[in-house]
Structure formats: structure tokens, C-alpha cells
Amino acid sequence: QYIDRGLSMLWDRLFRCGDSSMEIQVDEKAAGNRGLNELYRQVGVYVGSLRSALNTQARLKAYRWVDAAAISFSLHDNESIDDSFDGVHVSWTHSVMEKENGGNNPYCGDSAQRSFTLRFFKRDREIILPAYLDHVSKVSADIERKSSQRFLYTNNYGNWEEASFSHPSTFDSLALDSGMAERIKADLDAFSNGKTFYHRNGRAWKRGYLLYGPPGTGKSSLIAAIANYMQFDVYDLELTKVSDNAELKSLLIQTSAKSVIVVEDIDCSVKLSNRDEADEDSKEGRDSQQSSKLTLSGLLNFVDGLWSCCGEERIFIFTTNFKERIDPALLRPGRMDMHILLSYCTFHVFKKMANNYLGIQDHPKFLELQETMTKSSVQVTPAAIAEILIRNQDCPDVALSEVLAAFQTHVDNVDDENIPTKHVDPTVGDETASKVSHRKSKIPYLGRVMPFFCSKGKHQD
């Protein structure tokens, strides 16, 4: 204790230049037998994560928890470490003192009294309290979330069933059109840092993405990449298992903050009567029947109603193979803020896949492949390309020949009217631009097995 005080005075002399310092003590155990102090634990995590810890003279302790990818550090007993926040200098000391009589008492349990002491200049107290302490809590919560197990939930009779979520898809493993990954990541970053902005503007802190495009173009993989990027849990909502609007609301209330709520194949999940039909029904006195069903109004409220903001920082993602089949009310900004087209394989996408799967950045066959892909009347999904590349991963020459052959099937039948056009989605400007327009397959639900290759001429909208 005396050493601690002495250090504190020395610290004052060195840095204070006449200004007096303040101390805040964060004890491990809250006063009055209230149990463990959450802030103490958070400070421990925060202090262990400080970059300055690696350059400091202070002694650290190192841990690797079971299944954890990274090593974590903590400050050794009675050591100090400096930090700065918003231009303000602070220091933390971890004090561990043996309790009097505690050490000899076998019934006393833990004999040490632990605390962190925060020191700063009095003149900086407006910045430290509470902004810096809030910052400490937030950073430590983020660190714990990133290092902890994440979950994938699916609904079953009104409850969420959980499984561990460990999908390996990331923005690096995905092959997307030029600039698309950067635009999506920038949007996610802005969302993640936008708490004050959303609240100041009276908006619920949530964001909606519509992913649309043919089967096998990476929609589900992109959902996993988004969840991994944000370190969020995923709630996979199966609408066919939701019996009515009340159940939908109850499921929504059970979801946690910092999560992605997904509805896949929204166009074919259930037949949702639209709002006009619902109004007609209520005029005709069929209210009770209506309230016992899942309706479009129910879904609209789920995404953007009063209850949709009951948990903060949430991302809604809907996917579809047929955007035009979705009610425009569901697609408006505020519900689906960004519409992202995932389409057939372009040369840019192919190059990324060749790099990921075969480890090649260039190859003599690339020029021919680029020309063929541009001129070809055949559209090939990234899933089909992935399958060829995986099958021939040890033999790049064969892989590239097979990819070439896949695009060459109808190359002679190019009809000028069917040359791919640039797709621009008005809701997001150039956001979803793709060199190939999304052409609807006429046999959509054989998608997973069959239309890996489809002729541009044969599958016009």
C-alpha cells in the first residue's frame, strides 16, 4: 500500500506540473457482499489488450484459453501501465494485497484483495468520467465477443434452437465483383460506428440488406462473411415454421443485440397476403382470421415496426432468386437499405477464385478465358466454377481448360441483342453494378443441381 502511494505521488510530480491528480479505485468485489464487480473484469480485459502493454516495462501474464485463437495478456500484480484517450494521459495500476488474517484462514477462500486504480489529472475528469470508462467497457465487451463462441439459431415452434456457428466464409474467401466487398464492408463499418448518428436522427440502430441473384452465386456465403466480419450471431428465420404474426413478434423479441437476422428465399417461403388484401379482409370482418395468420404486414412490422428496435445493432438480410417477386413495401429503404446483386461469374470474379482455389494470379490461358467469358452466350455460376477448381486443385492447367470449355458451349450462338448489359439498381446507384445482368432461370428450383450453366439467350426475364 505504501509503495503504491509512493508511486502515485511520484507520478503526480512527474506529470502533473502543478495540477492535482485524481484516483478511482475499481475493486474486484463490490462493497456490501454484492458479488463481483463487472467493471473490474472489464478493466482487466481492456488493460491486457493495450498495445502499450507490449512495449511496457511492466510484467504481464499470458494465457491461451481452450479453443481460443489468440493469446491474451493481463497485468501482473502491483504493476502499472499507461494509456491515452482523446489526448488525455492516464495510468492503471493493478494492486493485489493479502488480507489481514486471511492468509492463515483455511475457510476464508481467496485471501487477496484486488483492485485496479485509475489515475488522471483532475482537469481531465470531464473526459474520463464517464467517456473513458464507457470506452473501457465497450472495448472489453468487443474483445470478449470476438473471442467467444458464436451461435446460429433457427426457429422451431416459436423458439430458437441454437448450434455453434463456425462458417468459414469471409470477404477474402468470397469472389465478388470489383469493389463490391469494399463497399459492403464500408457500409457495415459505418453502421457499426453509427450508434450516435442513428439515435440523433431518431432511427432504430439496424440495417437491411437484400441479396438477390441466381442460385449458386454466393448469397448464403455472403451472409456468413457478413456475420464473421461483424462477429455477430445469426438467427436464420424459417418463415414456413412461423404460424402467425404474434409468433413472429415473439421470435423477434427473443433475438439478442449484435445479431444478423436472415430470411432466405423470401419470395417462396410463404404466401404472404399483401396489405391491400389484409385491409379488404378487415373491412369484411375477417379480422380474427387475419390475426391468426402470418401476413405481409406482420413481416413489414418485424423489419421496421415498433418492435424491430427492441434489440440494438441488428442486421436484417433477405435473400431471393427473384427480386421482382417481392412486394416493393418490403424493399424500400429503411427495410432493405442496400440491394446487392450476386450474379454469374465475370472474369474479375474468376480471377479471384483462381487465386483462392489454385493459388495462381496469372496464367497463359487467362487472356483466352477473358475473351471467351466476355463474348460467351453461356453464363456460369461461381458455384460451378468452384466445383471445377476444387476437383482439379492439383492441376491448374486442366482446371482452366474445363472452365474454358464450360464457357465455350454456346459461344458461336451469340446474338447481339443478348450481349450482357451492365446492371444498375436504382435503389443503390452503382452499388450492385455487375457486368452481367441477372437473367431469371426458367427452371428455378432445379437451381442447385442443374442451371450451373445457362444460355443467356434462353433465360431472359
Ligand X SMILES: Nc1ncnc2c1ncn2[C@@H]1O[C@H](COP(=O)(O)OP(=O)(O)OP(=O)(O)O)[C@@H](O)[C@H]1O
218 binds ligand X (CB under 6 A): yes
- Cell numbers 457495415 label which residue? 188
What's the min distance (Å) between Cβ of 357 and ligand X?
9
Task: Give the other-Cβ count within 10 Å of 368's Cβ.
Answer: 14
451 binds ligand X (CB under 6 A): no
The type of residue at 366 is: F
Report the site for ligand X in 349-378 (rule: CB under 6 A). Answer: 353
Print the binding letters for residues 37-56 with ligand X: x by CB under 6 A, - otherwise. Answer: --------------------
Residue 298 interacts, among ligand X, Mg ion, none and using kind-specific CB cut-offs from 5 to 8 Å, with: none
Compute the half-sphere exposure of residue 201: CA atoms within 13 Å on the CB side of its CA: 9
The helix/strand count (H/E) of the chain reads as 18, 15
- Cell numbers 476437383 label which residue? 391
Of the pair 116, 232, the CB lying nearest ligand X is at: 232
What's the min distance (Å) between Cβ of 220 and Mg ion?
3
Full 3-state SS string of 12-73: HHHHHCCCCEEEEEEECECCCCCCECHHHHHHHHHHHHCCHHHHCCCCEEEECCCCCCCCEE
Of the listed pieces 7-15, 46-54, 170-178, 393-401, which binds ligand X according to CB under 6 A? 170-178
249 binds ligand X (CB under 6 A): no
Of positions 221, 346, 379, 392, contacts ligand X by CB under 6 A: 221
386 binds ligand X (CB under 6 A): yes
Print the binding letters for residues 325-354 with ligand X: x by CB under 6 A, - otherwise. Answer: -----------------x----------x-
Contact criterion met (CB below 8 Å) for 74 and 46: no
Output b/e per residue, 303-341; b: 16+ Cβ within 10 A. bbeeebeebebbbbbbbbbbbeebeeebbeeebbbbbbb
Of the listed pieces 114-122, 200-208, 213-221, 296-304, which binds ligand X according to CB under 6 A? 213-221
What's the min distance (Å) between Cβ of 142 and ligand X?
28
Rg over alpha carbons for the chain, rounded to the nearest Å, is 29
Residue 57 dihedral angles phi and psi, to the nearest 5°: -80, -20
Q: What ranges in 85-132 are assigned the alpha helix state H?
A: 125-127
Of the pair 48, 447, the CB lying nearest ligand X is at: 447
Of positions 127, 383, 404, 414, contacts ligand X by CB under 6 A: 383
Of the listed pieces 158-166, 215-223, 251-259, 331-339, which binds Mg ion according to CB under 5 A? 215-223
260 binds ligand X (CB under 6 A): no
217 binds ligand X (CB under 6 A): yes
220 binds Mg ion (CB under 5 A): yes
Query: What are 392's three cell numbers?
Result: 482439379
CB-based contacts of 26, cutoff 8 Å, min separation 6: 37, 39, 40, 43, 115, 116, 117, 118
* Dist CA 270 CA 250 (whole Å): 18
Of positions 39, 128, 136, 175, contacts ligand X by CB under 6 A: 175
Q: What ranges in 172-255 are assigned the alpha helix state H?
A: 180-192, 195-200, 219-230, 245-254
Of the pair 45, 180, the CB lying nearest ligand X is at: 180
Print the binding letters for residues 73-92 with ligand X: x by CB under 6 A, - otherwise. Answer: --------------------
174 binds ligand X (CB under 6 A): yes
Q: How far is CA 297 from CA 55, 83, 303, 426, in A?
A: 57, 51, 10, 25
What's the min distance (Å) between Cβ of 340 and Mg ion?
13
447 binds ligand X (CB under 6 A): yes
The helix (run of H) or strand (run of E) holding residue 367 is: helix 366-375
Of the pair 220, 376, the CB lying nearest Mg ion is at: 220
Burial (CB count <10 Å: 0-12, 13-18, 19+), residue 55 = exposed
448 binds ligand X (CB under 6 A): yes
Query: Which residue has its beta carbon closest to ligand X?
Result: 218
Contact criterion met (CB below 8 Å) for 311 and 256: yes
Residue 308 interacts, among Mg ion, ligand X, none and using kind-specific CB cut-offs from 5 to 8 Å, with: none
192 binds Mg ion (CB under 5 A): no
What's the min distance (Å) between Cβ of 387 and ligand X?
8
CB-based contacts of 351, cutoff 8 Å, min separation 6: 361, 366
Of the listed pieces 36-44, 169-177, 239-247, 281-289, which binds ligand X according to CB under 6 A? 169-177
Q: Which residue ranges make up the site for Mg ion (CB under 5 A)? A: 219-220
* Interacting residues toward ligand X by CB under 6 A: 174-176, 215-221, 321, 342, 353, 382-383, 386, 447-448
